[in-house]
Homo-oligomer: A and B are copies of this chain.
Amino acid sequence: MSGWLCIAGLGPGDPNLVTPEVTLTLEAATDVVGYIPYVARIAPRAGLRLHPSDNRVELDRARAAIDMAAQGRRVVVVSSGDPGVFAMASAVFEALENRPEWQALDIRVLPGITAMLAAAASAGAPLGHDFCAINLSDNLKPAALIEARVRAAAGADFAMAFYNPRSASRPHTFGRVLDILRDTCGPDRLISFARAVSTPEEKLRTVTLAEATPEMADMRTVVIVGNSATRRVGRFVYTPRSAL
């Protein structure tokens, strides 16, 4: 039996947002690897080994998954959302980089519904025109680069989605980003905070930049900032298709 490795996206939380491709792949797997709360979403069954691990050990987890596949096991690395958006796919390829003997393995990435698109759908259509996705965590990049990208995106009038806006270990980054946004986009620009989107705890709130405070976001929140044309219609927020 030859092993394989799939890096799969579980979507934002609702089981009805998991693609059939991912469900079928999980049914064929012998091993599931991932961050504790994501592995907890997989139903246990006979013949399936679950390997939950802690946050911030992405490379170790990736190497362990590749090792198991190389030994003939059928391994799924699970991510929340989409595995290619601030998630495990890049970590797996990083682990492969220095191990050419692993590169012939049967490896596939299975896309998923990423949080910003579920959040946008819940709000209406705030990403209906050109947009950027920016990870606000400064674990893996300098804060100055984050700020430069926010300025560039605001200056070119992109809508924006922010992942990992705020954590206990870096409470100030998001406040600075809000300051930059108020400076470049003005006080009336709409900003939506979508927490735990598609789960029973989902909470969605849209305010202006003048009203926005850092405390409106936490690590389970995706933040969406509209472009200069983004507006409310009824209970929804949307960005027009046209910029003419």
Contacts and interface: CB of A to CB of B under 8 A. Distances in A.
Interface in A206-234: 233-234
Copies of this polypeptide in the complex: 2
Nearest to A103: B234
Nearest to A140: B242
Interface residues of A, number: 77
A42 interface: no
A1 interface: no
Nearest to A94: B240
Interface string A108-126: 1111111001101110111
Contact of A90 (B108, B110, B129): B129
A244 B146 CA distance: 12
Contacts of A86: 128-129, 241
Contacts of A84: 117, 120-121, 125-128
A76 interface: no
A241 B125 contact: no
Interface in A112-164: 112-114, 117-118, 120-122, 124-135, 140-142, 145, 148-149, 151-153, 155-158
Contacts of A104: 234
A46 interface: no
Interface string A83-97: 111110111111011
Contacts of A134: 130
B111 A117 contact: yes
A140 to B, nearest CB: 4
Interface in A39-56: none
A114 B131 CA distance: 13
A10 to B, nearest CB: 12
Contacts of A184: none
A20 B21 contact: no
A168 interface: no
Contacts of A14: 21
A82 interface: yes
A11 B109 CA distance: 16
Contact of A244 (B18, B129, B131, B142): B142
9 contacts: A18-B20, A19-B19, A19-B113, A90-B241, A93-B125, A93-B128, A100-B234, A145-B243, A152-B155
